[in-house]
């Protein structure tokens, strides 16, 4: 049975300040939960319908550190961030990150990405292309918010997420920095790079001017139609396919 204290704690994780305070976040839904339960990552709570717990004992036994709690649908609805709760909710400890300046392979730097769907999509893109690091500016949406975790579909398991001063990161990193910009060179004509920092900007305003001018290269995805701009997640996907596919 879920206690009032446990319910209050889990519901508090819908807010960023409590996620940071407790260094924990929520992952919901059968697909995402099953992926986490098959991993070796530490899990704090497994809260699920009793039928789900009974049917997945083998997965649950892989995490003796986790506190398993059976709930009914009404109780799950109270702690869920989804409009329609999906049988199981996990509370997960956030992984400790090394120093951002130790990143020495491809990474994506996000400048002011505010839309949870875009953030989750970019995490999935990084996961698809084997990019292990995402560096976020302080004004990005929290990458551990329930909506982002849902949209990322398990990418948090494999992609390290950092918060940093992007200008300092770009200036101090030996990696070549590559900014997505409308005034850049044709991305399809760009010389191959073994590794680098791909910078993706805010959905409405792009990359801030100081950071844009600090980038070593500026790339443009050529436009052939009448669209004014591309979604940040779409841009990230296209550029990752170009940069990592050569």
Q: How far is CA 207 from CA 113, 151, 201, 211, 218, in A?
A: 10, 23, 4, 7, 11
Q: Where in the chain is the domain with CATH 3.40.1280.10?
A: 100-245
Query: What whole-number distance in Å separates Cα of residue 226 and Cα of residue 123?
Result: 28
4-93 CATH choice from 3.60.110.10, 1.10.3720.10, 3.50.50.60, 3.30.1330.30: 3.30.1330.30
Among candidate residues 11, 5, 4, the one with its CA nearest the CA of residue 28: 11
> What local confidence, expressed as pLDDT, does residue 246 receive?
66
> What local confidence, expressed as pLDDT, does residue 77 receive?
92
Q: Where in the chain is the domain with CATH 3.30.1330.30?
A: 4-93
pLDDT, tens digit (0-9, with 9 covering 90-100), for 123-148: 999 999 999 999 999 999 999 999 99
> What local confidence, expressed as pLDDT, does residue 51 receive?
95
pLDDT in tens, the chain (246 residues): 899 999 999 999 999 999 999 999 999 999 999 999 999 999 999 999 999 999 999 999 999 999 999 999 999 999 998 888 789 999 999 987 778 989 999 999 999 999 999 999 999 999 999 999 999 999 999 999 999 999 999 999 999 999 999 999 999 999 999 999 998 999 999 999 999 999 999 989 999 999 999 999 999 999 999 988 899 999 999 999 999 986
> What local confidence, expressed as pLDDT, does residue 86 receive?
84
Query: What whole-number distance in Å separates Cα of residue 126 and Cα of residue 118?
Result: 12
- Helices 116-128, 232-245: inter-axial angle, 10-degree rounding: 10
150 in helix, strand or coil?
Answer: helix
161 in helix, strand or coil?
Answer: strand
CA 202 centroid distance within chain: 16
Q: Global pTM?
A: 0.94
CATH architecture of 100-245: 3-Layer(aba) Sandwich (3.40)
Query: What whole-number distance in Å separates Cα of residue 155 and Cα of residue 37?
Result: 14
For residue 4, with 0-12 CB atoms within 10 Å meaning exposed, 13-18 middle and 19 or more buried, which class applies? exposed
> What local confidence, expressed as pLDDT, does residue 81 receive?
87
């Amino acid at each position: 049975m879920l206690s009032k204290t446990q319910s209050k704690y889990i519901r508090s994780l819908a807010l960023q300040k409590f996620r940071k305070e407790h260094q924990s976040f929520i992952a919901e839904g059968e697909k995402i939960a099953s992926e986490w339960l098959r991993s070796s990552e530490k899990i704090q709570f497994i809260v699920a319908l009793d039928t789900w717990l009974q049917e997945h004992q083998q997965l649950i036994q892989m995490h003796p550190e986790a506190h398993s709690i059976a709930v009914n649908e009404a109780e799950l609805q109270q702690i869920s961030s989804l409009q329609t709760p999906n049988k199981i909710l996990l509370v997960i400890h956030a992984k400790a990150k090394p120093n951002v300046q130790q990143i020495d392979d491809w990474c994506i730097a996000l400048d002011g990405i505010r839309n949870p769907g875009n953030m989750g999509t970019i995490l999935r893109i990084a996961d698809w292309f084997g990019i292990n690091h995402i560096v976020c500016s302080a004004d990005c949406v929290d990458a551990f918010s329930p909506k982002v975790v849902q949209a990322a579909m398990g990418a948090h398991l494999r992609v390290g997420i950092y918060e940093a001063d992007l200008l300092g990161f770009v200036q101090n990193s030996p990696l070549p920095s590559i900014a997505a910009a409308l005034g850049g060179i044709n991305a399809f004509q760009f010389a191959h790079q073994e590794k680098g920092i791909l910078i993706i900007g805010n959905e409405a305003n792009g990359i801030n001017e100081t950071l844009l001018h600090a980038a070593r290269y500026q790339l443009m995805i050529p436009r052939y139609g009448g669209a004014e701009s591309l979604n940040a997640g779409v841009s990230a996907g296209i550029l990752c396919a170009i940069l990592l596919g050569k």
